[in-house]
A = this chain, B = another copy of it.
Amino acid sequence: MRTGIATVCLSGTLKEKMQACAIAGFDGIEIFEQDLVTSPLSPEDVRAMAADLGLGLDLYQPFRDFDGVTAELLKANLRRAEAKFKLMSRLGMDTILVCSNVATATIDDDELRASQLAQLAALAGEHGVKVAYEALAWGKHVNDYEHAHRLVEMVDHPNLGTCLDSFHILSRDWDTAPIEDFNADKIFFVQVADAPKLSMDVLSWSRHYRVFPGEGQFELAKFMGHVVRAGYTGPVSLEVFNDVFRQSDVERTAVDAMRSLIWLEEQSAKWLESTSAEAAAGSVPASRRRYPMELATLPKVSEPAGFNFAEVKADDTARLEKLLGQLGFGFEGRHRTKDVQLWTMGQARVIINEQAASHSEPAIAALGFDVDSPVIASARAQQLKAPVVQRRVQADEEVFQGICAPDSTEIFLCQGSPDGTAAWTHEFGEGLEHPGSGNRAVIDHVNLAQPWQHFDEAVLFYTSALALEPQPFAEVPSPSGLVRSQVMQTTDGAVRLVLNLAPAQQASAQQAQSARKSYQEHIAFAVDDLVATARSARDRGLEFLQIPANYYEDLDARFDLEPGFLATLKELNLLYDRDADGEFLHFYTATVGSVFFEMVERRGNYGGYGAPNAPVRHAVQYDHLHRN
């Protein structure tokens, strides 16, 4: 599959964009006109630079408001087009995108449109240019890709074809199956964009909220499958207008973009395979069961089976040790060669890493996931352009395959075991006996704060590299604003990650340090008997997050709880939730640095995270932070 990207997806100057695309490994780019117009580079400079970078210049775009106009305007439009054709020749480009008219069309007549497009195609032919005509979702008269294709068929000129853009097609809920019947020679270009399903006017949706494939909710693999079955072999190019991507680091966004195409390629191949039975059964003509586009595949991985460990880093680890001890974790000893400690409760393993920079506050540094094959999982992640984490290891120690998540958390791919143990724990010295060692416990979920520039990137990262599934998106009120919350999890819930986008901080340089502190992250452990766990922790002196009395009054108004149970909840600072599937009890510890811990008990099949209680936690933590 030939990969491409429109320069409008990225921040920076044309030169910066082209360099970033080359580094990320794209085959070609679309030159967005404004990027050229505002650039000090001459067309010849751009041509030479693209050649040096090994980038094809695959599409010049957009040319707007051409068709369905008066004779007088047609003349001006042809003049305008010819100027662009000449420019393209200087750029060494041969394909231009012409969008269906949104502004100046006054005549709604297919015969007239076809005759005007025929004149454009003839003129293009004289300049060696191919015109890819696209139906915009909000085109005045032409807003349906099949309509655009019919016009192309009517004109039937070798220099006129169509451009298929997944956004313009899927935002209108058009059926994509008819694409398979298109003549591949008439599909000049394919653009892909994903988007969250929003109910708003399609123009604003398109201009601000598009995302890269895998970051939204469109059925792009199916769209691509139809395109591939049609016999198309040209570029598959990203055209993603997104307010955040336009503000973010250009090289990093280009890598995110490339990852989305690598993933889409795999998903498209899977979709084609999954529908091959039906194809063989005759609903797809035999000629389309084989297709000329080659689709690369990736090393296959299953969902991770669970968390292997979580690692917290700190300069001064005393407060962390105290908290874990009070929760009932046991100290298993120090690593034989590294400055790290291991603490466990049941199958929940927490590494305290003492190798932090001096004066750095405790923070979540790494997570380990149990996978079938660390090597295969790592190979897949690397093919998806995940940055590799380098860790020094000594001979005879387990080698961890590590990758770096978009928020800089290190993700280690560990060999899972049927009994939930981890071989590497033998590298730690003999620990102390501890009261909670008999407890059954696992890491239930981990809640990570995401920088706003990398929220969508993180969704694709965990989807593509780690086979987690995004759940419906939520927003949680906090005293400093709404917190956007995206759960990524495995089907069985054994691995649950909560990605939180905290409200923007009003961070002046002076406030930066305290602002960082308000991005709190946490690790939650599940136990069988939360009340007993809480009582023991209290007896060991644990500082619980103090839940306001008003909360318990409201809880009682909502759930009509048994008075003894309500009193227990209140006594122990436990929070409670209930839904049709079960019940959820949990409590939080005080925060140390930017980290705190949560203990949870899931009763029945409760699958949530106590979302109605999240505002209480945020408010109490905010209050603590601002009092300190």
Which of A94-102, A103-111, A351-359, A503-511 is near enough to bind chain B? A503-511
Which B residues are CB-close (under 8 A) to A506? Answer: 247-249, 453
B-contact bits for A542-577, CB 8 A (1 contact / 0 none): 000010111101101110100000000000000000
Check if A140 is an interface residue, CB within 8 A of chain B: no
- With the chains together, A512 CA to B509 CA distance in Å? 6
Check if A80 is an interface residue, CB within 8 A of chain B: yes
Which B residues are CB-close (under 8 A) to A557? Answer: 79-80, 83-84
Check if A62 is an interface residue, CB within 8 A of chain B: no
Check if A38 is an interface residue, CB within 8 A of chain B: yes
- With the chains together, A87 CA to B551 CA distance in Å? 12
B-contact bits for A473-514, CB 8 A (1 contact / 0 none): 000010111100000000000000000000110111100110
8 smallest A-B Cβ distances: which pairs? A38-B619, A200-B200, A247-B481, A83-B557, A199-B201, A509-B512, A246-B481, A247-B503
Interface contacts beyond A76-B560, A246-B481: sample of 14 additional A-B pairs, CB < 8 Å, sorted by A: A12-B622, A13-B623, A34-B477, A37-B616, A38-B550, A39-B548, A39-B619, A41-B550, A42-B550, A80-B557, A243-B482, A246-B477, A247-B480, A512-B512
Cβ contact within 8 Å between B39 and A87: no
- With the chains together, A477 CA to B243 CA distance in Å? 10
The residue that A11 contacts in the complex, of B83, B481, B513, with Cβ under 8 A, is B481
Which B residues are CB-close (under 8 A) to A43? Answer: 550
- With the chains together, A79 CA to B248 CA distance in Å? 52
- Measured CB to CB, the closest approach of chain B to A3, in angstroms, equals 23
Check if A620 is an interface residue, CB within 8 A of chain B: yes
Residues of A312-348 at the interface with B, using a CB-CB cut-off of 8 Å, are none
- Smallest CB-CB separation from A35: which chain B residue? B619
> With A38-B620, A40-B546 given, is the CB distance from A80 to B480 under 8 Å?
no
Residues of A28-74 at the interface with B, using a CB-CB cut-off of 8 Å, are 33-34, 36-43
**A and B contact pairs by CB, cutoff 8 A, 15 listed:** A11-B481, A12-B622, A34-B615, A37-B551, A38-B620, A39-B548, A39-B619, A40-B546, A42-B549, A79-B557, A80-B557, A200-B204, A243-B481, A243-B482, A249-B506
- Measured CB to CB, the closest approach of chain B to A221, in angstroms, equals 27
Check if A198 is an interface residue, CB within 8 A of chain B: yes
B-contact bits for A1-35, CB 8 A (1 contact / 0 none): 00000000001110010000000000000000110
Cβ contact within 8 Å between B623 and A11: no
- With the chains together, A43 CA to B41 CA distance in Å? 67
Which B residues are CB-close (under 8 A) to A37? Answer: 548, 550-551, 554, 615-616
Residues of A442-456 at the interface with B, using a CB-CB cut-off of 8 Å, are 452-453
- Smallest CB-CB separation from A546: which chain B residue? B40
- Measured CB to CB, the closest approach of chain B to A42, in angstroms, equals 7
